[in-house]
Amino acid sequence: MSDSLYLVLWRGGFVNVATIARRELLSLGLSPAGWVAAAAMIVPVSAFGFLPEFIGRQLGQMDQVFAAFPLVLTLVVPFYTMRLIAAEWREGTLELLLTAPVRDWEVVLGKWLGVVAFYLTSITFTGFYVLLIAAHLGGEAVLDWGAVWAGYAGLILIGGFFIAVGLLASTLSSNSVLG
Over range 79-92, report the average pLDDT. Answer: 80
What's the confidence (pLDDT) of residue 101?
80
Q: What CA–CA distance (Å, rounded) separates 167 from 77?
A: 10
Q: What CA–CA distance (Å, rounded) separates 176 from 179?
A: 5
| Kind plus residue range of the DSSP H or E element containing 47 | none
Q: Picking from 37-41, 140-144, 147-151, which range would have the lowest pLDDT averaged per residue? A: 140-144
What's the confidence (pLDDT) of residue 92?
75
Residue 25, φ and ψ in degrees, nearest 5: -65, -45
What's the confidence (pLDDT) of residue 58?
62
**What is the per-residue pLDDT across 11-52, written as a single tens digit (0 to 9) for each?**
667 888 888 899 989 988 888 888 888 888 888 888 877 777
Residue scoring higher pLDDT (162 or 170): 162
Please check the confidence at residue 99 and state whether its pLDDT lies above 80: no
What's the confidence (pLDDT) of residue 89?
78
- pLDDT-derived band of residue 179, with 50, 70 and 90 as boundaries? very low
> For the CA atoms of the chain, what is the radius of gyration?
19
Q: What CA–CA distance (Å, rounded) separates 168 from 35?
A: 22
Contacts of 115 (CB under 8 A, 6+ apart): 24, 25, 28, 80, 81, 84, 163, 166, 167
What's the confidence (pLDDT) of residue 20?
87
Please check the confidence at residue 10 and state whether its pLDDT lies above 70: no
Contacts of 85 (CB under 8 A, 6+ apart): 94, 111, 167, 170, 171, 179
* Average pLDDT score over the chain: 80
